[in-house]
Structure 1
């Protein structure tokens, strides 16, 4: 029987989606790419493949899952299988530099960012040249969930960090990003959720406790991503769905970016500076949803929720494939 195949490497993120799929009777199964063996001479099973590979897979001991997924997606597309968030989406998921290039090509503004190889002297030289005296942000090119994103009040503080930074914090692809620190009137960012390339809702996220912004309950990682030298207490509710959504012009531009980039499902994070300028700094194609925020907004368990909208979209994709095959 034709079904939805969910490509992933982290099963703890699946239950909310599984509940939404089961609620509407959508047939589905897992394709766990934490490891795998595939005969490229064989024909992949029928159905619609939903790619949920995460840029942070290497932090869970799955160092090569993204590379394995890229190979599997090539096999699937060669055989004409419908892949939701296909090869282009995966390529942008695992590289913020490529994300920023695609965002700018779509007419969106990104923060001033400098790419530097994993070399302390080069990083500090670039920081002094472009961001002195500070503050500035250090982040890995291939991250996920906000892991490894750190705020430094000065270049000197950045230099102190590198004198004691553990080796396992080095970026997995050997690329660090130095980025301007955008001062917002309030300590919040906005995360806009899209399914089928269309806007679903926007979430306001309180950043007081740091840059760990994955909304799923299963993403809690303590203070792993808090700014260096900062001791803060997370608010009781970090994620709040905005009843008014986002302005139509911004919504249209973000949807246009997704269409140009071959991305079907994503959470796009942006911040507004004191002048109201919107800067987009992250595209998460393995987006998760916050159940408490959806409950508070009255959309939990409905087609207006993130999982509900995704289930409806995938059901329509599967029905379309079945009609073509009939």
Structure 2
């Protein structure tokens, strides 16, 4: 029987998707690539393969899961299997530098970013050259859970604290990024969700309590390093689905970017600064959806939810492009 194979390394992210698959009647099974052995002379099973490998896999003890996934995707592609978020998508997932290059090629603006090899002297020299007299964000090229993402008041603050940064926050690929600090008129960012390369909805996120990889008014600028994490507990709702979506021109540019980049499913995060610029700073091809925001918007458990739209898209791919019944 042909099924949707969900490639992943973190089973904790599967339940919402499993519920949506079951509701839509889509047969599926997981393919855990936290480790594995594959006979490359064999033929892969039939079905659609949905890649959910994350750039943060190394933070869960799966240092080479992304590399294993890249090899498996090559094997699948060699045999003509349909891979959703295939090799090109994985390549951008694990490199902010390649993400930014692809975004700019599609006519989108990204924050000013300087790439530096993991060397203290080179990092400080670059910070002094490009960000003297201003706040600066330090982040790893291959991100994950906000580890290593720090905001510093100035280059001197970076110099004082650089040697004390936790070793496990060092970039796994040896590349640090220095990035401009974006001042937003409101402490929010927007995350636009896309399935099948098409816009589903946008979520406005209050960054007051912190937000993953957000170069916004999220941290107090001071000598204390500011970690930004995926999971932040806040009493008030922090995620709100925007009823009117996003600007049509921006939406068209983001969809064109996804098409050019070979990405089927993604959450794309952007921010508007106090000069009115819209800057895109993160593309997450292993997107997760906020259940509370979907519940408040009345789309939870429906085809208009993130998991619902994803299940219907993958089901249609499995059926050879035929739309599932409503």
TM-score > 0.5 by shorter chain: yes
Distance 1:13 1:230 in 2: 23
Q: Contact between 2:146 and 2:227, CA under 8 Å: does it hold in 1? A: no
Change (3 A) 1:230 1:269: closer
Q: CA deviation at 1:99?
A: 0.2
Q: CA deviation at 1:234?
A: 3.6
In the TM superposition, what are the counterparts of 1:138-177 in structure 2 within 5 Å? Answer: 138-177=138-177
Q: CA deviation at 1:322?
A: 9.2
Q: Contact between 2:203 and 2:242, CA under 8 Å: does it hold in 1? A: yes
SS in structure 1 at match of 2:263: coil
Distance 2:86 2:144 in 1: 18
In the TM superposition, what are the counterparts of 1:114-129 in structure 2 within 5 Å? Answer: 114-129=114-129
In the TM superposition, what are the counterparts of 1:129-140 in structure 2 within 5 Å? Answer: 129-140=129-140
Q: Contact between 2:137 and 2:181, CA under 8 Å: does it hold in 1? A: yes
Change (3 A) 1:48 1:177: same
Change (3 A) 1:296 1:152: same
Distance 1:288 1:274 in 2: 29
Pairing 1:194–2:191 present: no
Paired position in structure 2 for 1:221: none
Q: Contact between 1:147 and 1:211, CA under 8 Å: does it hold in 2? A: no
Change (3 A) 1:148 1:50: same
In the TM superposition, what are the counterparts of 1:313-324 in structure 2 within 5 Å? Answer: 313-320=313-320
SS in structure 2 at match of 1:320: coil
SS in structure 2 at match of 1:301: coil
Instruction: Give the TM-score taking structure 2 as reference length.
Output: 0.92
Q: CA deviation at 1:18?
A: 0.3
SS in structure 2 at match of 1:56: helix
Q: CA deviation at 1:169?
A: 1.3
In the TM superposition, what are the counterparts of 1:248-259 in structure 2 within 5 Å? Answer: 248-259=248-259
Structure 2 stretches of 5 or more lacking a match? 215-223
Distance 1:272 1:322 in 2: 39
Post-superposition CA distance 1:252-305 (Å, at most 9, x none): 000000000000000000000112210001000000000001001110000000
Q: CA deviation at 1:211?
A: 3.1
Q: Contact between 2:17 and 2:307, CA under 8 Å: does it hold in 1? A: yes
Q: CA deviation at 1:178?
A: 0.2
Distance 2:226 2:309 in 1: 40
Q: Contact between 1:147 and 1:212, CA under 8 Å: does it hold in 2? A: no
Paired position in structure 2 for 1:224: none
Pairing 1:228–2:233 present: no
In the TM superposition, what are the counterparts of 1:236-251 in structure 2 within 5 Å? Answer: 236-251=236-251
Q: CA deviation at 1:144?
A: 2.8
Distance 2:145 2:134 in 1: 24
Q: CA deviation at 1:235?
A: 5.1
Q: Contact between 1:149 and 1:211, CA under 8 Å: does it hold in 2? A: no
Q: CA RMSD in A?
A: 1.9
Post-superposition CA distance 1:189-225 (Å, at most 9, x none): 10000000000000111112223379xxxxxxxxxxx
SS in structure 2 at match of 1:193: strand
Distance 2:227 2:95 in 1: 27
Runs of 4+ in 1 over 3 A off after TM superposition: 229-235
Q: CA deviation at 1:233?
A: 7.8
Paired position in structure 2 for 1:50: 50
